[in-house]
Structure 1
């Protein structure tokens, strides 16, 4: 569990609620179902229209990784690939076949399979780089779901505020109805701006950081596979991977 992310969202929302109490307000006044429906449903609809269902679903699923601390496998990966390079240099590329069944990550398994098959080093590098570009492009489209939500939510909040004011104007002759209309108007704006800046945009930026880390690891793998295919010294391959890691 990434406790920094949990603490961050708790502090952000807690600070908002604490400020409301310190100003003498009631927490119940921030609970407006109508405003929440306007902002929530409106934002989801706008994001779906922009992104499409596949990217939307993938983006929502990616949010889980914001609160799960990713394991730093760079050192273990470096050791594993260094072992492969030493074996390949000593016994040939076919000797790596014994490791293939134990590799679960599709990208790593594909690179190892191409090494065993004796693919030309430059073709191997081109294929893996193209696959990495495709992977990064797909992931960025999913992350844009949260960027888009952060952009649309404040605007939808303003729409909710206008709707609330329309409700107020329609009930000027009935003072008892004015309070709820004004509450929806202001709370809808708070929901839109608050969700965008305290939830949606931070999640998007965290996912971008995690993606950058994953892309760096895959670039490190590509450099290692290329070196093994060329028959480079294992120490050279290790140094090249260390440079990518740092």
Structure 2
């Protein structure tokens, strides 16, 4: 399998990315309807964390099967992948929102694990303005090309691959450091993982997880053609962790 999935430019409709879903698929459907999202022409890209904490996590498999919906794996998918093989402690998993899956029969746990393990770590989308990368947490290399080449390098050691995956799915280093250096060979990098009260931009890295699953949170969408958010961003660089 490839850990990087490439999409050509959408010439017939719109492309959006959405922040962490966390089992709020019914709310997401309502928001898409309100935006006039047309699944026959438009595409929706997810920054990962499809499941845990919210009420509709079991719908994740249905959404993954939709031809217009494309997700990278997040750290919560990582936990669901590891849990059936005994590489994730049940109590820790449940404490992080995975109780719905801990309670699933084993065949369903395996179905979610298999489906999430088939998701790419990174997505790249061609737009008129240039290439856009989509990840859950962060790009741990100086350039996007260095990162994507490393992901699919068959000669990479298991130890190194684990470190690269962990950074891509779990790291908050860039946002904690308020690092504005960006990723130079991308038009923009779109990520989630860190819930914020409003979306943030550091360099060309856009943080769009506005905590839809939490009280007071909401879904942020970003139009990949214009890099405008829905709802519109009020304060571009003023961000604060929720």
TM-score by length of 1: 0.20
Which has the higher relative contact order, 1 or 2, with Cα contacts under 8 A spaced 6 or more apart?
1
Q: Which has the higher helix share?
A: 1
TM-score by length of 2: 0.20
Structure showing greater radius of gyration is 1
